[in-house]
Structure 1
Amino acid sequence: MMNSDMELRHLRYFTAVAEALNFTKAAARLKIAQPALSRQVQDLEDEIGVDLLKRSPRGVTLTAEGKLFLEEARDTLKRVEDAVLKVRALARGEYGELQIGYAPSPSLELLPPALSAFRAAAPSVKVVLHDLAGDELTSGLHDGSLELAVMIQPSLESGAGLEFEELRRYPFYVAMPAGHPLSKLKTVTVERLAEEALVAFRRLDYSEYYRILDSIYPPPGPRPRIAVECDGVSSLITEIEIGKGVGLVSEIFQRAAGKRLVYRRLSNCQEFHRVGIARSIKGDVTPAGERFCEILRKVSKSGTSKSARPGSV
C-alpha cells in the first residue's frame, strides 16, 4: 500500500482527520499544529493523486476514495500495531513457538510441572514436544529442529557442540522381580551385579545407557551379561518381571515403573543419571526458551527428594 514517499505518520494523520471530520479537532488529538497537519494530508493526496477529503468552511467530508482509503489505512495501522505488540511479547518470552525434545522417563519429574507453570506464565507461546531417544535428541539440537531438550547428559562424543546444564542427578538401582535372590540384600555391589544376566536397553537407541555401563564396568573387566535388549521402558519392565534378568536403572525409573518390580540400591557406584537442559552452543535460544529454562531451574530446586537434587550423593 505504501511507497517510499508515504509513511505511517501520513496514515495516522489522515485517519485522525477522517474520523474527526475536522482539522482543528484532529490536530488537538495528535498534538500538532493545524497548518502542519493540513500540509501532511495534502502531501498524502498529492502522492496518491486523488482527493480523499472535500473541504468546506463547515468542515470536511470523505470522498468515495477517502472512505476506501480510511478502511485500508485502519487495517494497515492495526497490522503494524499487532506486529509491534507481537515483537515486544516475543522479546519478553511471551510469544512464539518452542520446539522442545525430551526423554520420557528422565524428564518425568521436571517436564510436567515446568510445562504447567510455563503455560500459565506465557499462554501465547506454542510449545511443541518431541518424544525422542537420546541420539535423536542430540541430532535435533545439532540440526536446529529442536531449541532445547530435557534429557540425560550426553556423552562427550554426541554432546560435542552442545551445552548441558545439570538440573538433577539420580543414583542407580538394581531392578528385579519379586522373590529374586538379590532382593534379600539391602544393597547390591557393582561386583555382585556383574554376576547377573542383565535386561538392558537397545544400544542403537540408548547409547548413553552403554556409556554409563562402560563407566561402571570399564573394559576389559567383568560386567553383567546382557540377556535381552529392549526398545523402551515398558518392554524393559516386562522382561525383568518375567525373569529374563535384572535391570540397571536410575532412581527416576522406579518412580515411573511403580511397584511392579523390587529395587535395591547399587552400592560403591560413583555414576549418576544426570538430567538437565541441553542446547546447541551455536543455536539461538529465544526469549521464550530462556524463560522456559528458568522455570525448569525453579522446578528442579523445588523437589523434595534429596537424592534427586544436583550435587547430592
Structure 2
Amino acid sequence: MELRHLRYFLAVADALNFTKAARQLRIAQPALSRRVQDLEDEIGVDLLKRSPRGVTLTAEGKLFLEKTRQLLKMADESVEQVRALARGQFGSLHIGYAPSPTVEILPPALAAYQRAFPHVNVLLHDASRREIVDGLQDGTLQLAVLPEVVNMEAEGIEFEPLRSYPYYVALSPSHPLTRLKAIPLEKIANEPLVGFARHDYPDYYPFVERIFRPLGVTPKIAVECDSGSSLITAVETGRGVSLAMSVFKVVTGKRLVLRPVAGSKDEIPVGIARAKNGDLTPAGEKFCEFLRKFSKRTPPA
C-alpha cells in the first residue's frame, strides 16, 4: 500500500466522483479508477459503491476515510518536521553552561534565538566543567558555553573563543583590601583563597598555580566550592578572597567587591565548546551564530 493510493482514495471520497477527482489530481480517470480498485483489492473490502450517477462510501469506506485522513496528516506533519529540523527550525537542543562567566552572552543570545525559532526546545544544563566535558563526549550535550579550560583538546573538545575577560579579586565589602583600587598579587598570596572543588573543576588549580608562579609561592585554598553561588557566599561571609573573572560583578551585585590585580594583563576567554567528532544539528549551528552575534555587542555599563 502506497501513500499515493491513499491520496487517490481521499480525492475520490471527497469529490464522490472519479472524473472530478481525476481532474484535481491531474491524472487520467481510467488510471485513477484502477488505482482505487487496486487499493480495495489489497484491503479485501469495497470502499466505494459505484453507479452511473457517481460514487458513495460504504460503511467500511467511511471508516477507512477517517483513518486515511489521520494517516496522511501524520505523514505530512512528519515530512514538514524533518524539513524544519534540517533547516534548524525544529528539535531539541541540550546546552551546558557556566552561569556566571556567560551572563553577558548567553541570556540575550538565547532570548533572540527563541524568538526566531520558537519550535526549538532549548534545555540549559548548569553543570560543572567535568560534567560538561562528559556530556559533550557522550552526546547528551550538543554544545556548551563556558570559560576555556586546559586539556579540552586532549579530551576531544574544540573551543571557539567569543569574548575575553580579565581576572579580578573578589572580596567581601568589609575586607581591608577593598580600599585599594588595584591589588598587588603579593597581597593576594597572603590571603586564604576560596576556589572550586578539584574534582568538579580540575582546571582551577592549574590556573591558580599559573597566576602565582612568578612569585614562587603556592597559594592556600582555604575553601573549596561546588558552584558559583556557594563561592559567592563563602567570600561574602569573610572565609577568604577569590580570583574571578571581571564579569562576575554582574552576578554578585553589591554582595562582593571586585578589584583588578595590579599589573596583570591576563584574560580568560569565554566561548563555545563542542565535541570534535560530534554531530551538531542545524539548530545547534544556528544557536552558535546567535552566540557569536551577541558576544560582539558591548555589554551595558
Amino acid at match of 1:259: K
Task: Quote how far apart the aligned CAs of 1:39 are.
Answer: 1.5
The one of 11, 26, 41 aligned to 2:6: 11
| 1:254 and 2:249 matched | yes
2:276 and 2:168 mapped to 1: Cα distance? Answer: 33
Instruction: Spell out, residue by residue over 1:147-170, the C-alpha distance to the aligned partner (whole angstroms, 9 max, x if none).
Output: 111111121157620111111111
The one of 112, 115, 125 aligned to 2:110: 115
Amino acid at match of 1:79: M
| 1:175 and 2:148 matched | no
Task: Quote how far apart the aligned CAs of 1:57 are.
Answer: 0.9
1:57 and 1:93 mapped to 2: Cα distance? Answer: 52
1:131 and 1:119 mapped to 2: Cα distance? Answer: 19
The one of 113, 116, 141 aligned to 1:146: 141
2:176 and 2:120 mapped to 1: Cα distance? Answer: 52
Task: Quote how far apart the aligned CAs of 1:84 are.
Answer: 0.6
Structure 1 runs, 4 residues or longer, greater than 6 Å off: none
8 A contact 1:138–1:159 mirrored in 2: no
Q: TM-score, normalised by structure 1?
A: 0.89
Gap regions ≥5 residues in structure 1: 1-5, 307-313
Aligned 1:195-214 pairs, distance under 5 A:
195-214=190-209
Give 3-state SS (helix, strand or coil) of 2:160's partner. strand
1:104 and 1:159 mapped to 2: Cα distance? Answer: 24
Amino acid at match of 2:231: L
Amino acid at match of 1:99: H
| 1:69 and 2:64 matched | yes
CA change 1:102–1:145 in 2 (3 A) is same
1:105 alignment counterpart: 100
Give 3-state SS (helix, strand or coil) of 2:125's partner. strand
Instruction: Spell out, residue by residue over 1:252-290, the C-alpha distance to the aligned partner (whole angstroms, 9 max, x if none).
Output: 112211122222211333432221111111111111111
2:12 and 2:229 mapped to 1: Cα distance? Answer: 69
Give 3-state SS (helix, strand or coil) of 1:260's partner. coil
1:29 alignment counterpart: 24
1:206 and 1:158 mapped to 2: Cα distance? Answer: 16
Give 3-state SS (helix, strand or coil) of 1:217's partner. helix
Matched residue count: 301
Give 3-state SS (helix, strand or coil) of 1:171's partner. strand
Amino acid at match of 1:171: P
Q: TM-score, normalised by structure 2?
A: 0.92
Amino acid at match of 1:232: S
2:225 and 2:208 mapped to 1: Cα distance? Answer: 15
Instruction: Spell out, residue by residue over 1:18-67, the C-alpha distance to the aligned partner (whole angstroms, 9 max, x if none).
Output: 11010111011111111111121122122222221111111111112211
Instruction: Spell out, residue by residue over 1:66-117, the C-alpha distance to the aligned partner (whole angstroms, 9 max, x if none).
Output: 1122112111111110101110111111111111111111121122112211
Amino acid at match of 1:178: P
2:221 and 2:177 mapped to 1: Cα distance? Answer: 17
Amino acid at match of 1:130: H
2:181 alignment counterpart: 186
| 1:46 and 2:35 matched | no
Instruction: Spell out, residue by residue over 1:172-202, the C-alpha distance to the aligned partner (whole angstroms, 9 max, x if none).
Output: 1112233544333332233442233222222
1:310 alignment counterpart: none
Question: What's the Cα RMSD here?
Answer: 2.1
1:292 alignment counterpart: 287
1:134 and 1:146 mapped to 2: Cα distance? Answer: 12
Percent identity between the two aligned chains: 59
Instruction: Spell out, residue by residue over 1:196-247, the C-alpha distance to the aligned partner (whole angstroms, 9 max, x if none).
Output: 3222222222223223212213399214322222333333233333333322
2:119 and 2:207 mapped to 1: Cα distance? Answer: 39
2:71 and 2:175 mapped to 1: Cα distance? Answer: 73
1:309 alignment counterpart: none
Amino acid at match of 1:37: L
8 A contact 2:128–2:227 mirrored in 1: no
Aligned 1:274-293 pairs, distance under 5 A:
274-293=269-288
Gap regions ≥5 residues in structure 2: none
1:248 and 1:237 mapped to 2: Cα distance? Answer: 11
1:3 alignment counterpart: none
8 A contact 1:212–1:271 mirrored in 2: no
1:241 and 1:49 mapped to 2: Cα distance? Answer: 79
1:305 and 1:165 mapped to 2: Cα distance? Answer: 23
1:94 alignment counterpart: 89
| 1:126 and 2:121 matched | yes
8 A contact 2:246–2:258 mirrored in 1: no
